[in-house]
Structure 1
Amino acid sequence: MNAPRATLIWQLPDWPNLQANDPALLPLLLDAREWLGRVRGAYSAAGLDPAAPATQDVWQQEALATSAIEGESLNPASVRSSVMRRLGLGEDQEAPRDERVDGLVAMLDEATRLHDQALDEARLCRWHAALFPSGYSGMTRIRVGQYRNHSDAMQIVSGLPGREVVHYTAPPSAQVANEMQRLLAWLAHTGAETADAPHQDGLVRAAIAHLWFESIHPFEDGNGRIGRAVVDLVLARDAGSPVRFISLSRQLLAERKAYYAALQQAQHGGSTDVSPWVMWFVRQLAAACQHACGLLDAAQQRSRFWVVHGAVALNARQYKVVQRLLDAGDGGFLGGLNAEKYMKLTGASKATATRDMAHLVEHGLLSVRGQGKATRYFVNVPGWDHAIDAGQGPPAQGS
Structure 2
Amino acid sequence: MYIHEHKEWPSFSWNKELVGEKLNKVNKAVGYLMGRLSVIGFNDKMSAVVESISHDIIASSEIEGVELNNEQVRSSVARKLGVQLPNPTESSRYIDGVVEMALDATVNFNSPITHERLFGWHNCLFPTGWSGSTKIDVARYRSGEMKVISGMFGREKVHYVAPAPERIDEEMNRFLDWFNSDAHNGYVKSAIAHLWFVCLHPFDDGNGRIGRAIADMALSQAENSKMRFFSVSHQINKDKKQYYDILEKTQKGDCEITEWIIWYLDCLLRSVEQSDETLSKVLNKVIFWQTHAETVLSERQREVLNLYLDGYPGKLTAKNWAKRVKVSPDTAARDIKDLVEKSILIPQQGRVRDVFYGIRCSESILVIPMPEDV
Q: Shorter-normalised TM-score: what interval?
A: 0.7 to 0.9
1:262 to 216, 240, 246: 246
Instruction: Look up the SS of the partner of 1:220 in the other structure.
Output: coil
1:379 to 344, 349, 359: 359
1:173-212 → structure 2 map (5 Å cutoff) = 173-189=165-181, 192-193=182-183, 202-212=186-196
For residue 120 of structure 1, what is the aligned residue in structure 2? 114
**Shift, 1:11, TM fit:** 1.7
**Counterpart amino acid of 2:277?**
G
**Counterpart amino acid of 2:128?**
S
2:60 to 66, 73, 97: 66
The 8 Å contact of residues 8 and 268 in structure 1, kept in 2 or not, is answered as yes
2:103 to 97, 109, 118: 109
2: distance between equivalents of 1:344 and 1:374? 14
1:21 to 10, 15, 29: 15
Q: Deviations over 1:346-381 (max 9, x none)?
A: 455544444443344333332212444252222223
Report the CA distance shift for 1:50/1:67 in structure 2 as closer, same or farther (over 3 A). Answer: farther
Gaps of 5+ in 2: none
**Shift, 1:118, TM fit:** 1.3
Q: Does 1:220 align with 2:214?
A: no
The 8 Å contact of residues 185 and 218 in structure 2, kept in 1 or not, is answered as no
**Counterpart amino acid of 1:38?**
Y
Report the CA distance shift for 1:67/1:182 in structure 2 as closer, same or farther (over 3 A). Answer: same
1:321 to 291, 304, 312: 304
Q: Does 1:365 align with 2:344?
A: yes
For residue 289 of structure 2, what is the aligned residue in structure 1? 306
**Counterpart amino acid of 1:207?**
A
The 8 Å contact of residues 213 and 227 in structure 1, kept in 2 or not, is answered as yes
**Shift, 1:168, TM fit:** 2.1
The 8 Å contact of residues 168 and 264 in structure 1, kept in 2 or not, is answered as yes
1: distance between equivalents of 2:11 and 2:361? 53
**Shift, 1:284, TM fit:** 1.6
Gaps of 5+ in 1: 1-6, 194-199, 389-394
Q: Deviations over 1:281-320 (max 9, x none)?
A: 111222222223333333122112123335433344x444
Report the CA distance shift for 1:346/1:386 in structure 2 as closer, same or farther (over 3 A). Answer: same
1:289 to 272, 280, 285: 272
**Shift, 1:226, TM fit:** 0.8
Report the CA distance shift for 1:356/1:49 in structure 2 as closer, same or farther (over 3 A). Answer: closer
Instruction: Look up the SS of the partner of 1:52 in the other structure.
Output: helix
The 8 Å contact of residues 207 and 278 in structure 1, kept in 2 or not, is answered as yes
**Counterpart amino acid of 1:365?**
I
Q: Does 1:275 align with 2:258?
A: yes
Instruction: Look up the SS of the partner of 1:378 in the other structure.
Output: strand
1:245 to 205, 220, 229: 229
Report the CA distance shift for 1:345/1:92 in structure 2 as closer, same or farther (over 3 A). Answer: closer
**Counterpart amino acid of 1:381?**
C
The 8 Å contact of residues 312 and 363 in structure 1, kept in 2 or not, is answered as no
Q: Deviations over 1:152-197 (max 9, x none)?
A: x4222334445443322222323222221111122123xx13xxxx
2: distance between equivalents of 1:177 and 1:238? 27
**Counterpart amino acid of 1:274?**
I
1:159-174 → structure 2 map (5 Å cutoff) = 159-174=151-166
**Counterpart amino acid of 1:377?**
Y
2: distance between equivalents of 1:18 and 1:219? 23
TM-score by length of 2: 0.88
**Shift, 1:93, TM fit:** 7.1
For residue 55 of structure 1, what is the aligned residue in structure 2? 49
**Shift, 1:49, TM fit:** 6.4
Instruction: Look up the SS of the partner of 2:197 in the other structure.
Output: helix
The 8 Å contact of residues 321 and 342 in structure 1, kept in 2 or not, is answered as yes
**Counterpart amino acid of 2:203?**
F
| Length, aligned pairs only | 371
2: distance between equivalents of 1:324 and 1:169? 50
**Counterpart amino acid of 1:127?**
W
TM-score by length of 1: 0.83
The 8 Å contact of residues 50 and 243 in structure 1, kept in 2 or not, is answered as no
The 8 Å contact of residues 148 and 219 in structure 1, kept in 2 or not, is answered as yes
The 8 Å contact of residues 74 and 101 in structure 1, kept in 2 or not, is answered as yes
**Counterpart amino acid of 2:188?**
V
Of 304-313 and 338-347, the range deviating more from structure 2: 338-347
1: distance between equivalents of 2:168 and 2:178? 15
Instruction: Look up the SS of the partner of 2:346 in the other structure.
Output: strand
| Identity level (%) | 33
